[in-house]
Amino acid sequence: MKEEQTIPYKINLSEEEIPTHWYNVRADMKTDHRPLLNPGTGEALKQEDLEPIFCEELCKQELNDTDQYIEIPEEIRDFYKMYRPSPMVRAYNLEKALGTPAHIYYKFEGGNTSGSHKLNSAIAQAYFAKQQGLKGVTTETGAGQWGTALAMACAYLGLDCKVYMVKISSQQKPYRREVMRTYGAEVIESPSEETEVGKKILEKNPDNMGSLGTAISEAVEAATTQEGYRYVLGSVLNQVLLHQSIIGQEAKKALDKYGVYPDIIIGCAGGGSNLGGLMSEYMKDKLNGEGNAYFIAVEPASCPSLTRGKFAYDFCDTGNVTPLAMMYTLGSQFIPSKNHAGGLRFDGMSPILSQLYHDGYIDEARAVEQSDVFEAAELFAKTEGTLPAPESAHAIKVAIDEALKCKETGEAKNILFGLTGTGYFDMAAYQAYNDGTMTDEIPTDEDLERGFESLPKVEIND
Amino acid sequence: MKEEQTIPYKINLSEEEIPTHWYNVRADMKTDHRPLLNPGTGEALKQEDLEPIFCEELCKQELNDTDQYIEIPEEIRDFYKMYRPSPMVRAYNLEKALGTPAHIYYKFEGGNTSGSHKLNSAIAQAYFAKQQGLKGVTTETGAGQWGTALAMACAYLGLDCKVYMVKISSQQKPYRREVMRTYGAEVIESPSEETEVGKKILEKNPDNMGSLGTAISEAVEAATTQEGYRYVLGSVLNQVLLHQSIIGQEAKKALDKYGVYPDIIIGCAGGGSNLGGLMSEYMKDKLNGEGNAYFIAVEPASCPSLTRGKFAYDFCDTGNVTPLAMMYTLGSQFIPSKNHAGGLRFDGMSPILSQLYHDGYIDEARAVEQSDVFEAAELFAKTEGTLPAPESAHAIKVAIDEALKCKETGEAKNILFGLTGTGYFDMAAYQAYNDGTMTDEIPTDEDLERGFESLPKVEIND
């Protein structure tokens, strides 16, 4: 097998091969994209409605469904050069351990200090805020990867960065907090006394340990009430998938060099930024009838938005301060059981991914259980060296399953998955797995019904 | 400045450019290397004396002072392909922040899960143990990087791995411990009930929290009393510097592509494995009159082996179970004040580096204070993106100082330093820095005198 010898372990691109444009999948989507709605009036939101929250250029990107490619400013490309192109890795050792004829590839996005792909969008959002002459940005963080990425981007640009960190996360992951502080970010435990929302919650219950929903509400309030600030977000939004498209563009460029076209493309899906980025050029092919990769979105069985949720208009946060988005959702009041893959605990899903799944361009969503995920993570770590983030390990689990199917059928399929990040700050979860105390918690139908009851009643005019 | 545009941020080599041989600096050293001595008899140790402790091939490497290059087995090269060649980075953003005409380069070894260069030697030592048909290896770990690296290598090869981890470290860094466990290593808190040494210590004091010296003693005892085990070590030894020579070989290959020859080469020095690896081909040039880089070894002011120690025969451990080595040392009973750069808290120094420093081939040793080191680390993180290990930040501090000298003189010197690793498991130290509670503790002359009193009386016959 000549090919086996000529494809290196890591396919590295040169800095000149970093994409010059972001790919905007909305320009190629066949179904009219459902707009964000004002929850009060039910009307579609326009540029001016979004500008108090997001900076101008990002509002434009959020609403842009016509331009197929949007140029990446040179300053952002310079930042990308510090840690990109990210490697495309052939998982030779995992293949050998599985004894599969499949060829497994993964695009590794965890090689930067934020430990994930989040940095790709953080630098873009911080850059446009800086360009607009703003003083700083606010955001929330749960697991901490997004907050870290934003802190790094803001440090580089000299921009203020206020991160509302869920109090329980801040106390459970003090070292994540310290990374952000080292990059100069102000990390505020949420709920806090700094916002009206936070004050009200603490008045009722001073021991409230916070939630992502509360942190979002505080970050949005801080951005809209303080002069010179805007709010930024690490996933779900169209602009985030736009920025993340560089992952898929690099992936295709790397595999094209060896004439490899993936038969299966696998990504974990929490808010959707990773799979949304990984798929980019391959989804473009599929939408235009030029390629037919089989896309699998992997989610935790504990928070099964795509596999058991509804395609409906919903709020993007528990506090219901955001616009309504059309997406697969478990309802904004759904409370996912404790799952260590913090980045996948969102009850909703990127509207873009939701629509593509609804229309069949994303072929399959698969829910996997946590203990299986960590078993896959351990095998991956031992064979491929890198200790994966629990989120990424969801994709590993399905890649392994697909490779084992190939072992049965004898097919040498090309499997591509996204290794979004490293698990260095998730060792408490690994400890639970190592100690045998990890549990799988899957919502009952009754749990889901309770969540669906919180869906807003909206008339869709399309 | 054309050059500025043509040198990329990261100079990546291809997998074919991974060195095929390790470089053995001893073959080129001008001074007869002082042998390891039996502490009882004062006689030079031979292959057969070392074989109960180390596996055969590694004993040969330890004693080899004639072969300039030693071939790297293909299996080890295959492992290297998973994370090497490591990138050579041009620190454009740091240069800009400093406003220096100097060109700063760093060889980044932290891109693998062990978080440091230690993996380069771990896989080699584990491989030769496996080749000899051994069941497993034992070692000690303090900060945890070496233990992690060894666990990864053993997982890959299917070899048992027993790590004696200093009890206080294990409790302060539970997540480091979990990484090792995830790779299948058995992590034993030292002092333990599993060895005679450990039992005796615990009998005297059940609350003893351990020390690196005790952990070494336990690991050596476990290796020599259990069938099928040998002991392995992550620094100091000649064999470790041999394996680490691939760092310097790759560094030279990368910089040669752009016609860059470093004027100054900077490495932190604890046991010496990092600087010993980084210098390799450049030191070869210097020893053979074909290059004249200025070498600086950087150590913490709290543990100043080279700058304030004695060049003398000494034990390599506090427990005095090891052979005697000729090296710069503060005395095996010297207790370094608490310093967060755990990897630099060794009272001795690699015999190779010691001899080269004694003979003037390493031009300078410089001791730096911890708070200055963290200030440099923070600037580096903010400008270059990567959060450095405290150990590596010692080299960053001196690289910045040298670059600022260039700013004064207007010289565009080429400065190369080793970024040995990342600081993701050292956030407690960063927290102390961020909180302003970090202190610098420098031993007094009396402290040093007490350490020197523990030096063994040895007659050197040369």
Whether B459 has a pLDDT exceeding 70, the answer reads no
* Per-residue pLDDT reduced to its tens digit, A30-48: 987 789 999 888 999 999 9
The whole-angstrom separation of Cα A137 and Cα B38 is 64
Q: How many residues does chain B have?
A: 462
* Per-residue pLDDT reduced to its tens digit, B217-230: 899 999 999 999 99
A178: left (phi over 0), alpha (psi -120 to 50) or beta: alpha
Q: Which residues of chain B does A12 touch, with a Cβ-Cβ cutoff of 8 Å?
A: 12, 14
* Per-residue pLDDT reduced to its tens digit, B363-416: 999 999 999 999 999 999 999 999 999 999 999 999 999 999 999 999 999 999
Size of interface A-B (CB pairs under 8 A): 119
* Per-residue pLDDT reduced to its tens digit, A143-175: 889 999 999 999 999 999 999 999 988 888 889
pLDDT band at A2 (very low <50, low <70, confident <90, very high): very low
Pick the residue of A93, A113, A114, A435 with the most B CBs within 10 A to test the interface with B by mutation: A113
* Per-residue pLDDT reduced to its tens digit, B197-218: 999 999 999 999 888 888 998 9
The whole-angstrom separation of Cα B423 and Cα A282 is 36
Quick one: which of B352, B354, B371 has its CA closest to B301? B371
Q: Which residues of chain B does A431 touch, with a Cβ-Cβ cutoff of 8 Å?
A: 174-175, 178, 181
Quick one: which of B318, B328, B330, B260 has its CA closest to B297? B328
Q: Select from A113, A156, A434 the Cβ nearest to the Cβ of B387.
A: A113
- Chain B's closest residue to A87, CA to CA, is B83
What is the residue type of B375? E
Q: Select from A15, A382, A424 the Cβ nearest to the Cβ of B183.
A: A382
Measured in degrees and rounded to the nearest 5, phi and psi for residue B437 equal: -105, 5
The reported pLDDT for the residue numbered B1 is 42
Structure tokens at A150: 């934003």
Flag if A381 and B113 touch (Cβ within 8 Å): yes
The whole-angstrom separation of Cα B33 and Cα B26 is 7
Residue A88 parent element (H or E): strand A88-90
Pick the residue of A5, A10, A435 with the most B CBs within 10 A to test the interface with B by mutation: A10
Rounded to whole angstroms, what are the CA distances from B204 to B170, B207, B222, B332? Answer: 21, 9, 21, 21
pLDDT band at B339 (very low <50, low <70, confident <90, very high): low
* Per-residue pLDDT reduced to its tens digit, B34-89: 899 998 889 999 999 999 999 999 999 999 999 999 999 999 999 999 999 999 99
The reported pLDDT for the residue numbered A320 is 84
Largest CA distance in chain A: 69
Total Cβ atoms within 10 A of residue A411: 14
Rounded to whole angstroms, what are the CA distances from A211 to A190, A208, A342, B171, B238? Answer: 8, 9, 12, 29, 53
Q: What's the whole-number mean pLDDT along residues A213-238?
A: 93
* Per-residue pLDDT reduced to its tens digit, A201-224: 999 999 998 888 889 989 999 999
The reported pLDDT for the residue numbered B371 is 93
pLDDT band at B318 (very low <50, low <70, confident <90, very high): confident
Q: What's the whole-number mean pLDDT along residues A330-356?
A: 85
Collapsing DSSP to helix, strand or coil, B332 comes out as coil
Flag if A428 and B175 touch (Cβ within 8 Å): yes
Q: Select from B183, B378, B384 the Cβ nearest to the Cβ of A381.
A: B183
What is the residue type of B449? E
pLDDT band at A459 (very low <50, low <70, confident <90, very high): low
Structure tokens at A127: 């850059």
Q: What is the dihedral of CA A236, A241, A242, A248, to 10 degrees?
A: 180
Flag if A178 and B430 touch (Cβ within 8 Å): yes
Q: Which domains does chain A have, with CATH numbers?
A: 4-20+83-115+238-452 (3.40.50.1100), 22-69+118-231 (3.40.50.1100)
Q: Select from A115, A425, A434 the Cβ nearest to the Cβ of B182.
A: A434
* Per-residue pLDDT reduced to its tens digit, A365-383: 999 999 999 999 999 999 9
DSSP B321: -
The whole-angstrom separation of Cα B248 and Cα A342 is 40
Q: What percent of chain B has pLDDT over 70?
A: 97
Please say whether the beta carbons of B362 and B356 come within 8 A: yes
The reported pLDDT for the residue numbered A136 is 98
Whether B4 has a pLDDT exceeding 60, the answer reads no
Flag if B382 and A184 touch (Cβ within 8 Å): yes
Flag if B9 and A183 touch (Cβ within 8 Å): no
Pick the residue of B79, B160, B427 with the most A CBs within 10 A to test the interface with A by mutation: B427
* Per-residue pLDDT reduced to its tens digit, B426-456: 898 999 999 999 888 899 999 999 999 999 9
Q: Select from B93, B179, B387 the Cβ nearest to the Cβ of A387.
A: B179
The whole-angstrom separation of Cα A164 and Cα A157 is 20
Please say whether the beta carbons of A436 and A310 come within 8 A: no
Whether A457 has a pLDDT exceeding 70, the answer reads yes
The whole-angstrom separation of Cα B195 and Cα B218 is 6
Collapsing DSSP to helix, strand or coil, A164 comes out as strand
What is the 3-class SS of B108-147, one letter each residue? ECCCCCCCECCHHHHHHHHHHHHHCCCCEEEEEECCCHHH
Quick one: which of B455, B198, B210, B212 has its CA closest to B315? B455
Quick one: which of A409, A374, A415, A367 has its CA closest to A392? A374
Which of A275-289, B20-34, B150-164 is predicted least confidently?
A: B20-34
Structure tokens at A389: 């983030």
The whole-angstrom separation of Cα B84 and Cα B313 is 36
What is the 3-class SS of B48-66, one letter each residue? HHHCCCCCHHHHHHHHCCC
The reported pLDDT for the residue numbered B462 is 47
Strands (E), A264-390: 264-268, 294-300, 310-315, 324-329, 364-368
Q: Which residues of chain A does B15 touch, with a Cβ-Cβ cutoff of 8 Å?
A: 8-10
Q: What percent of chain A has pLDDT over 70?
A: 97
- Chain A's closest residue to B158, CA to CA, is A382
The whole-angstrom separation of Cα B102 and Cα B403 is 6
The whole-angstrom separation of Cα A428 and Cα A434 is 10
Q: How many angstroms separate the CA of residue B430 from the nearest CA in chain A? A: 7
Flag if A178 and B8 touch (Cβ within 8 Å): no
Please say whether the beta carbons of A277 and A121 come within 8 A: no
The whole-angstrom separation of Cα B86 and Cα A164 is 36
CA angle A454, A456, A462 (to 5 degrees): 145
Q: Which residues of chain A does B120 touch, with a Cβ-Cβ cutoff of 8 Å?
A: none
Q: Global pTM?
A: 0.95
Q: What's the whole-number mean pLDDT along residues A235-242?
A: 95
Measured in degrees and rounded to the nearest 5, phi and psi for residue B163 equal: -115, 115
Please say whether the beta carbons of B235 and B271 come within 8 A: yes
Flag if B93 and A82 touch (Cβ within 8 Å): yes
Quick one: which of A251, A198, A238 has its CA closest to A221? A198
Q: Select from B82, B384, B430 the Cβ nearest to the Cβ of A384.
A: B82
Collapsing DSSP to helix, strand or coil, A98 comes out as helix
Structure tokens at B294: 């200025």
Q: Which residues contact A105 (CB under 8 A, 6 or more apart)?
A: A88, A89, A90, A91, A255, A260, A262, A414, A415, A416, A417
The overall average pLDDT reported for chain A is 93
The reported pLDDT for the residue numbered B256 is 97
The whole-angstrom separation of Cα A52 and Cα A38 is 14
Q: What's the whole-number mean pLDDT along residues B158-176?
A: 92
Strands (E), B136-290: 136-141, 160-166, 186-190, 229-231, 264-268
Rounded to whole angstroms, what are the CA distances from B345 to A41, B169, B304, B305? Answer: 65, 13, 9, 10
The reported pLDDT for the residue numbered A5 is 53
Structure tokens at A197: 């929302």
pLDDT band at B2 (very low <50, low <70, confident <90, very high): very low
The reported pLDDT for the residue numbered B341 is 66
Q: How many angstroms separate the CA of residue A111 from the nearest CA in chain B? A: 6
For residue A162, list its beta bridge partners.
Answer: A138, A186
Flag if B382 and A183 touch (Cβ within 8 Å): yes
Q: What's the whole-number mean pLDDT along residues A422-434?
A: 92
The reported pLDDT for the residue numbered A341 is 66
Measured in degrees and rounded to the nearest 5, phi and psi for residue B361 equal: -75, -35
The overall average pLDDT reported for chain B is 93
Flag if A385 and B431 touch (Cβ within 8 Å): no
Pick the residue of B178, B179, B430 with the most A CBs within 10 A to test the interface with A by mutation: B178
ipTM confidence: 0.94
Whether B18 has a pLDDT exceeding 50, the answer reads yes
